[in-house]
Amino acid sequence: MRAETPEQDAILAVAQNAEAVFVTYAQITADVIAGLENCKVIGRFGVGTDNNDLGEPHVTEGAGLSVPDLDASRGQITPTGDGEITMMGVDVGRVLHVVIRTFIRSTGESRLEFARTVRSFEELPELMTRFNVRWCVIDSQPELHMVTKFIATRPTRILAADYSRTERGHVRDKHQRVLHLNRTQLFDALFESFRAGLHRLPEDARSLGGATRDGIGEYYREMLALQRVVERDNRGDLTARYEDANRPDHFAHAEAYCYSMFVVRYGRRSRLPAFAQDPATRY
């Protein structure tokens, strides 16, 4: 579709829900960008970016999860006993944030079994036994020594998470017991999985994590903390990352770790949407 004039209102009239916008003479200002609700890329017929306000990082609508996204996920799936596998994700900090989910391998749907904090590494093996956890992925920092000791308790079932990977895809190092993750790619897939209704939550999910304020608990607040920011790198290419704006995001990372091994181990064999089978970083 083509805008009749290069004015802001005319551009948004045809491009508000577009995924891509191509420009010749129009000025794509910050206000125009803010009005492009579904845009993934802006291209120009020509050379340069002088008519685009892309010099500063910006957050697009839908860049993170919302309260309605999480509310729509409430209502657990019924246990089937068919092709189910349980995963655990642990974010390490002052306390340990733990998420345990049971996935249906054929569909990628999952129900939340456990989302709480525990105070010591000694509690983790008991949780793995209680919920029959097949794989656990745990934050490798900042307690690398304690994480290494924990991995030694079940060396074939626990991996340390490493967010340093910048290339497409995730890589499992079986010898070092490390899962090298593309952070942006992983959160893209996780958040899309929530929006697609695959990651289910219990009916009382608004109270998860305790400390309920303004109708939501700590789990909701930490799942809402991360926002997807797009900016240009030192080569001028668009790049994306998730920022927490100095808000706690521990449960979001625990959910990501929990999901990561399922995607790596079973994604291509299940009937998952493309974003989970091979979740590409989107710009």
User: Domain check: are 35 and 167 in the same one?
Assistant: no
pLDDT the model gives residue 168? 79
pLDDT the model gives residue 250? 97
- Please write the tens of the pLDDT for every residue from 188-214: 989 999 999 999 999 999 999 998 899
User: Domain check: are 120 and 27 in the same one?
Assistant: no
The vertex-206 CA angle with 134 and 282, nearest 5°, equals: 65
Confidence of residue 42 (pLDDT cuts 50, 70, 90): confident
pLDDT the model gives residue 70? 96
Which helix (DSSP H) or strand (DSSP E) does residue 173 occupy? strand 171-173
User: Domain check: are 18 and 106 in the same one?
Assistant: no
The vertex-189 CA angle with 42 and 248, nearest 5°, equals: 95
Question: Does residue 241 surpass a pLDDT of 80?
Answer: yes
pLDDT the model gives residue 233? 75
- Do the Cβ atoms of 101 and 85 come closer than 8 Å? no
Q: How far apart are CA 195 and CA 69, in angstroms?
A: 6
Question: Does residue 278 surpass a pLDDT of 60?
Answer: no
- Please write the tens of the pLDDT for every residue from 105-126: 878 889 999 999 999 999 999 9
- The CATH number of whichever domain residue 130 belongs to comes to 3.30.420.240
- Do the Cβ atoms of 233 and 239 come closer than 8 Å? yes
Question: Does residue 15 surpass a pLDDT of 90?
Answer: no
User: Domain check: are 13 and 124 in the same one?
Assistant: no
Confidence of residue 25 (pLDDT cuts 50, 70, 90): low
Print the domain residue range for 21: 8-54
Confidence of residue 232 (pLDDT cuts 50, 70, 90): confident
User: Phi then psi for 117, rounded to 5 degrees?
Assistant: -105, 145
Instruction: Tell me whether residue 106 is in a domain.
Output: yes
| Residue 43, Cβ density class (10 Å: 0-12 exposed, 13-18 middle, ≥19 buried) | exposed
User: Phi then psi for 216, rounded to 5 degrees?
Assistant: -135, 150
Between 123 and 20, the more confident residue is 123
Q: How far apart are CA 119 and CA 98, in angstroms?
A: 10
- Do the Cβ atoms of 168 and 280 come closer than 8 Å? yes
User: Domain check: are 259 and 152 in the same one?
Assistant: yes
pLDDT the model gives residue 272? 53
Instruction: Tell me whether residue 1 is in a domain.
Output: no
